[in-house]
Every structure is written in structure tokens, then in C-alpha cells.
Amino acid sequence: MKQTIFTLLLLSTIGFVSCRKTGTEPNIVQYDQTQILNYIKANGITGMHQDTVGGDTSGIYYKIILPGSGTPLTYSDEVSFVYTLRSFDGKYISSDTILNQYLGYIGHLTNVAFPAGLEIAIINDLKYSGGSMRVLIPSYLAYGVNGYGSGSITVAGSHIAGNQCLDYYVHIIDKQPDTVAQAKYDDEVIKNYLAAQNLTSLYTNDGGVYYRIQTAGSGTDPITDNTTIQTTYNLRILNGTVIDAENQTAGVDSVSLDVPDLVPGVTRMLEKHAVKGTVISMIIPSGQAYGLSTQSGFPANACLRFEFTIVDVSP
């Protein structure tokens, strides 16, 4: 009898301790929520909402920065978006919205290593093309216990550590090619670039292309669709990366270009504003350059900055 009572007491004690342990040690969903709430408070973030689509919470917190429009997005929609990414510990930061681009189907995001939480947030919370949001993704909907990347967690920006919640900004440009949406997005990008570089007062807007005549030309032959120009030039994307350059001493190492072969924005600007001797700087919207096409060295939706020196003009 005493042995039976002792056994029952022992089992009761084990059960009590087990219950108490389960009650005090959070599961990963609870842990992530605590991390997100602490992150919101520590960084003074306001206006965040929980994703509760379907009557339950995914653990995602989001804030709509710019509402989109049109029909709701689905996983089968093809979209183009830009993004920034930061891990909660601050050891992984990727903030280049020129190179941080995606062009493809929403339902394929996890196939190219984006977190599942980003797919969910775009469908449930952002919902529409043309919109942007800030979204905090719990680790269990990000890269889990293993993290992401092949680099060392001791090297900043090379690896996302395990159990890290993620802070994303994402802007959906459009779910299908659309010239109006594209032009609006391009103009916002260029204006932000000019402001960041303190160039706003130096450039003039001509049909979406921003340009500056650095040296007025003295030639009399017009540049037309039939023209070949001898030129030096420099091409970069707006994060400063030089893509192509033939910018050696004018008249020595210049190259010959047929004007009709240039992107539409460049062709139009040279025909309107350049002659022999002109030095012109122009920022071309992606819609008047390569649009959604990807070329070697730069991504889709890339606005381009050119500097041309027109050495000679020949019909």
C-alpha cells in the first residue's frame, strides 16, 4: 500500500512538473511573437497590424505604406517588386532596391529562396499591385532554426542566423506590364535618387527623362534616326554600379553608335538636345529603357544614368 501511494505521488509530481514546464517554456510561435513585439517597441514602430486572415493569426505583423489598386493578387499572378531586408539582430541588412528585385509568379517565391511568410503577407495583407508595405515575418515562416546563406554569422551581411525574425519592405510595381504604373514608379525612383544625391535643382524633366546639359555643343548637324554619332559615354544604374563605359579622352578612344540602336529615351533626348560637342547627362526611366527585360549587369525595372560626350555627328 505504501509502495502504491509512493508511486502515485511520484507520478503526480512528474505530471505537475511537466505541466508547469510546458506552461512556462514557449513554443516557436509564441517565441517569435515575443521577439516581434519587443522589436516593435524597441524601434518605436507604429501602425502595425496582425495578419488574421482566415480567422487566425499567422504571426505576421504588417503596415501598409501605400495602398495598391486593381484586382486582388493571387499566387498565380506574375509580379515585379523591389524590397529591403533586415534580420532582427541587425547582422544581416540588404537595402539596395535597385538590385533587390523579383520578377516572377507570387507562388514561386519560395522556389527562389524567399521566405514563405513573404508570400503570405503579399496575398493576405498587401493584396494589390502598386502598393507597398513593411512586414515583420516570424522565424518559423522565414528560415527557421537553420537560417539562410553560406557565409559566417560573424561576418555582417553574409548570413541570416537561425531563429531570426525578418523585417521586410516590399513594393509591388505591377502584376502585369503597364506603362502608367511603370512611369509612376520610375519617376518616384528618379526623384528619390536626385534628392539623395543633391541633384534636384540641376536636372530638368522632359517626358519622364531627367537631363542636364553640362556643355553646350557647337555643331550644326542635327541628330536624327539616321544619324551615327562618335561618342564617349558612361552608363550606370542608380546604386552607382558602372555597367558600361567608353569614357576615355574625347576624340581618342570614342566609339561609333547608330542612334536608332539606342534605348528609346536616349534616342529621343539626343535628337532633341544634342549636337556635336554636347556633353549631356540623362537619367532614363526603365519604361524608356529596357523595362521588365533583364540585361547583363542590371535587373528589370532599372532606371539608367548616362553621360554622353558627342564627339562627332555623321548622317
Which domains are delineated in the chain?
25-176 (3.10.50.40), 180-314 (3.10.50.40)
Which portions of the chain are predicted below pLDDT 70?
1-25, 151-157, 175-178, 246-252, 296
User: Which pLDDT score is estimated for 21?
Assistant: 40
User: Which pLDDT score is estimated for 94?
Assistant: 93
Whether 36 and 112 have beta carbons less than 8 Å apart is answered as no
User: Which pLDDT score is estimated for 175?
Assistant: 57
Helix segments in 155-246, DSSP class H: 179-196
Whether pTM exceeds 0.85: no
The C-alpha angle with vertex 279 and arms to 278 and 281, in degrees rounded to 5, equals 130
User: Which pLDDT score is estimated for 183?
Assistant: 86
Q: Is 20 exposed, middle or buried (0-12, 13-18, 19+ CB in 10 A)?
A: exposed
Q: Is 142 exposed, middle or buried (0-12, 13-18, 19+ CB in 10 A)?
A: buried
* Cα distance between residue 49 and residue 64, in whole Å: 9
* Cα distance between residue 205 and residue 193, in whole Å: 14
User: Which pLDDT score is estimated for 180?
Assistant: 77
SS3 103: strand
